[in-house]
Structure 1
Amino acid sequence: MYLRWALRCLRSRRSSFYGGSAENLFLAARYGTLIRSNPSLLHSEVLGCRESLRCGSHGLHDLRYRVNEDENFGAEETVDPFSLVADELSTLADRLRSMVVAEVPKLASAAEYFFKMGVEGKRFRPTVLLLMASALDVPIPKTVIDGNLHMLPKEVRGRQQSIAEITEMIHVASLLHDDVLDDAETRRGISSLNFVMGNKLAVLAGDFLLSRACVALASLKNTEVVSLLATVVEHLVTGETMQMTTNSEKRCSMEYYLQKTYYKTASLISNSCKAIAILAGQTAEVSMLAYDYGRNLGLAFQLIDDVLDFTGTSASLGKGSLSDIRHGIVTAPILFAMEEFPQLRELIDRSFSEPEDVETALIYLGRSQGIQKTKELAQEHVNLAVNAIEALPETISENARISRRALVDLTKRVITRTK
């Protein structure tokens, strides 16, 4: 395997470092999202050059996986992240359905609604977590080994699978509550639960899922992990409240937008990734790398979601196109457009409430670099996510290396997705 990697590397005519331009570094630093998170990125161009030189000589065991590698090399090395954990995902789906059984049939039917209809899609979050569990198959320093880590690998994996299940229940519960708050009628092409069964039952179904998640979380008997996931639920509520109760100044602040986005989207995946590392008995440093990967992946995911709200269709997005702006919600594309067209501030201040406000905002957005700059910011977070995977300790596990490559591939899919 190593020899094949070396030959591919030598054949490749280009192996470029996937770092940010000076302009993009400044952009991210301006909003406190890049330099504060990873100051060492300033030196990454040098490291990237050194990596290219090392590839052809003695770096057979230290090949880095770049999102924009040579096309031929990328085609040979690409793996389908979802197929790697397909069997576990199938088992997870069955377990989720069994976990939402309730004494009251109507409540059970409501709680199972999205799981039964397949609205959860390809189970992106559980896939990330299961791959992260495999990617962290590295030696554990003796200094962090304690009595809880004498479990068999199968037992550890079972606990990590529980985190994937808990995360999915929290996620679906948040969808149920969001649809109620947004008066949504559809979710990924089918009628939303609140539209079918009413707001009260939808809220209760979300609460029921959260209660089931709490029971499963308590069974892990790990106070640090319990605290992490409890914080996630707090963040979900905080983020939603930030979105509902902002003043004009905060609505026009990119920093405020990114903080809200972290709470609403990225906190769940980042803290769940960290929980996976903690249950594996990893060091604080490795646990933070897992967290950093999830945080930046989550932020990139939401930034692209904000782009797709303007460029996608209701069928592919699972919600009506222009849903955010029609609800008076300001996202990154509009914030970037406002830098070029300050006239947008007046429309934002009145939450696009006048009849022509949405169309006017779209005209300004179309003339601006708002969409492109949002994609560039998403790319910066993708770069940081890739950096976190590359910084993980060396491993001799082939499965771990493949899983790390799959995690990098997922970052590419986040950027290129259309739904």
Structure 2
Amino acid sequence: MISTTSLFAPVDNDLRLLTENLKKLVGARHELLEAAAEHLFEAGGKRIRPAIVLLVARATMLDRDITLRHRRLAEITEMIHTASLVHDDVIDEAELRRNVPTVNSLFGDRVAVLAGDFLFAQSSWYLANLDNLAVVKLLSEVIRDYAEGEIQQAMNRFNPSLSIEAYLEKTYYKTASLMANSAKAAGLLSEVPEAVAERLYSYGRYIGLAFQIVDDILDFTTETEILGKPAGSDLISGNLTAPALYAMEAKPYLEVLIKREFSQEGDIEQALALIKESNGIERSRELAADYAKLAVQQLDCLKPSEASQALADLADYVLSRLY
């Protein structure tokens, strides 16, 4: 499997600087919020979203150095992502993320909600200070999309008639919108032509969809210890993802189990077994691979460089997580 360390080599120093800056940027006036934020940024993570912003910046600036605004955009992107994770964990009542206790399990739901709100507010403030209206609009849309995705997910819990199209729309709102709009925003800060900015948007959209579908597959195929949260946790909470939706077509009894919200003993084990016996995981893999391929096709608008190659290799990395 490709490692993100080698993949992000062209922006390695940029990402190190980003991690240092994030803690300063949060600069909460309250020690509890500061402790929560510190914990979040210490927990690590792959930094894929800011890496995409920085790689797009390097791939579009080429012989010029990237600007402070590019760097700030990458930081804002990671702040928005982190804020969404904090709220996600409260909604899912999650105890662990990446094998580290969640903010809500350490500080309680109230502080976690406030910490997430604070990060959204801070990111909006820094966004406004970029003084670029087009970029402000793009990233504001991301925050709205994220909320829309959460509402859609909440409304469709244990809904076996959810279509794959509705699942993909929710996935765009919750995951791909940030990658798509921030990739486009990075291009706009480099003053690329509108047509190139649109291709960068499409790249982020497709890579984001592939990334989330792979995540949804791993929820069924990875051991709890590696996953950093209980395996099958999406299904248990009624969040139906591609493997379950495809599996239902082949195993209609799965619908019965979902409708009764796995209320009887052995229901969840039976549901997981039905998904593994079906072609749901295989079909989801093919869907993710299709989106990864589409993502790479968008990059032919960029001149060849280490950074543009890394953006293409990211598509392989996303799929390699399955093997």
TM-score by length of 2: 0.94
Given that 1:325 and 1:352 are in contact with CA atoms closer than 8 Å, whether structure 2 keeps it comes out as: no
Given that 1:128 and 1:407 are in contact with CA atoms closer than 8 Å, whether structure 2 keeps it comes out as: yes
Which residue of 1 is the match for residue 60 of structure 2?
136
Question: What are the Cα deviations for residues 80-102 of structure 1, in whole angstroms up to 9, with x where unaligned?
Answer: 32222111111111110101112
Residue 262, structure 1, aligned to residue 160, structure 2: no
| Aligned partner (choices 72, 79, 97) of residue 23 of structure 2 | 97
Q: Provide the C-alpha distance between the structure 2 equivalents of 1:206 and 1:173, rounded to a whole number of angstroms.
A: 4
Residue pairs, 1:18-167, within 5 angstroms: 80-118=6-44, 121-137=45-61, 153-154=64-65, 157-167=67-77
The one-letter code matched in structure 1 to 2:166 is Y
Q: Provide the C-alpha distance between the structure 1 equivalents of 2:70 and 2:85, rounded to a whole number of angstroms.
A: 23
Name the SS for the 1:364 alignment partner.
helix
Residue 243, structure 1, aligned to residue 192, structure 2: no
Shift of 1:117: 3.2
Shift of 1:186: 0.6
Q: Provide the C-alpha distance between the structure 2 equivalents of 1:247 and 1:103, rounded to a whole number of angstroms.
A: 37
Given that 1:132 and 1:273 are in contact with CA atoms closer than 8 Å, whether structure 2 keeps it comes out as: yes
Given that 1:81 and 1:127 are in contact with CA atoms closer than 8 Å, whether structure 2 keeps it comes out as: no
Given that 1:250 and 1:256 are in contact with CA atoms closer than 8 Å, whether structure 2 keeps it comes out as: no
Pair 1:90–1:338, CA change in 2 (3 A): same
Shift of 1:133: 1.2
Residue 337, structure 1, aligned to residue 247, structure 2: yes
Q: Provide the C-alpha distance between the structure 2 equivalents of 1:212 and 1:405, rounded to a whole number of angstroms.
A: 33
Which residue of 2 is the match for residue 27 of structure 1?
none
Which residue of 1 is the match for residue 203 of structure 2?
293
Name the SS for the 2:238 alignment partner.
coil
Q: Provide the C-alpha distance between the structure 2 equivalents of 1:174 and 1:210, rounded to a whole number of angstroms.
A: 8
Which residue of 2 is the match for residue 219 of structure 1?
129
Q: Provide the C-alpha distance between the structure 2 equivalents of 1:248 and 1:312, rounded to a whole number of angstroms.
A: 22
Name the SS for the 1:353 alignment partner.
coil
Given that 2:157 and 2:240 are in contact with CA atoms closer than 8 Å, whether structure 1 keeps it comes out as: no
Q: Provide the C-alpha distance between the structure 1 equivalents of 2:31 and 2:316, rounded to a whole number of angstroms.
A: 42
Shift of 1:354: 2.9
Which residue of 2 is the match for residue 176 of structure 1?
86
TM-score by length of 1: 0.73
Q: Provide the C-alpha distance between the structure 2 equivalents of 1:366 and 1:217, rounded to a whole number of angstroms.
A: 44
Uncovered stretches (5+) of structure 2, i.e. residues with no partner: none
The one-letter code matched in structure 2 to 1:111 is A
RMSD of aligned residue pairs (Cα, Å): 2.1
Pair 1:81–1:248, CA change in 2 (3 A): closer
Which residue of 2 is the match for residue 411 of structure 1?
315
Residue 309, structure 1, aligned to residue 219, structure 2: yes
Residue 379, structure 1, aligned to residue 283, structure 2: no
Name the SS for the 1:217 alignment partner.
helix
The one-letter code matched in structure 1 to 2:23 is R
Uncovered stretches (5+) of structure 1, i.e. residues with no partner: 1-73, 140-152
Number of equivalent positions: 321
Given that 1:341 and 1:364 are in contact with CA atoms closer than 8 Å, whether structure 2 keeps it comes out as: yes
Q: Provide the C-alpha distance between the structure 1 equivalents of 2:199 and 2:92, rounded to a whole number of angstroms.
A: 34
Given that 1:111 and 1:208 are in contact with CA atoms closer than 8 Å, whether structure 2 keeps it comes out as: no
Given that 2:139 and 2:182 are in contact with CA atoms closer than 8 Å, whether structure 1 keeps it comes out as: yes
Given that 1:193 and 1:202 are in contact with CA atoms closer than 8 Å, whether structure 2 keeps it comes out as: yes
Q: Provide the C-alpha distance between the structure 2 equivalents of 1:357 and 1:252, rounded to a whole number of angstroms.
A: 20
Q: Provide the C-alpha distance between the structure 1 equivalents of 2:297 and 2:61, rounded to a whole number of angstroms.
A: 18
Q: Provide the C-alpha distance between the structure 1 equivalents of 2:140 and 2:133, rounded to a whole number of angstroms.
A: 10
Given that 1:81 and 1:403 are in contact with CA atoms closer than 8 Å, whether structure 2 keeps it comes out as: no
Q: Provide the C-alpha distance between the structure 2 equivalents of 1:266 and 1:91, rounded to a whole number of angstroms.
A: 25
Identical-pair percentage = 43
Given that 1:316 and 1:418 are in contact with CA atoms closer than 8 Å, whether structure 2 keeps it comes out as: no
Question: What are the Cα deviations for residues 323-348 of structure 1, in whole angstroms up to 9, with x where unaligned?
Answer: 10111111100111111122222223
Shift of 1:284: 1.5
The one-letter code matched in structure 1 to 2:28 is A
Which residue of 2 is the match for residue 207 of structure 1?
117
Shift of 1:172: 0.4
Given that 2:232 and 2:272 are in contact with CA atoms closer than 8 Å, whether structure 1 keeps it comes out as: no
Given that 1:188 and 1:315 are in contact with CA atoms closer than 8 Å, whether structure 2 keeps it comes out as: no
Pair 1:247–1:326, CA change in 2 (3 A): closer
Question: What are the Cα deviations for residues 330-371 of structure 1, in whole angstroms up to 9, with x where unaligned?
Answer: 110011111112222222323333332212212221221111
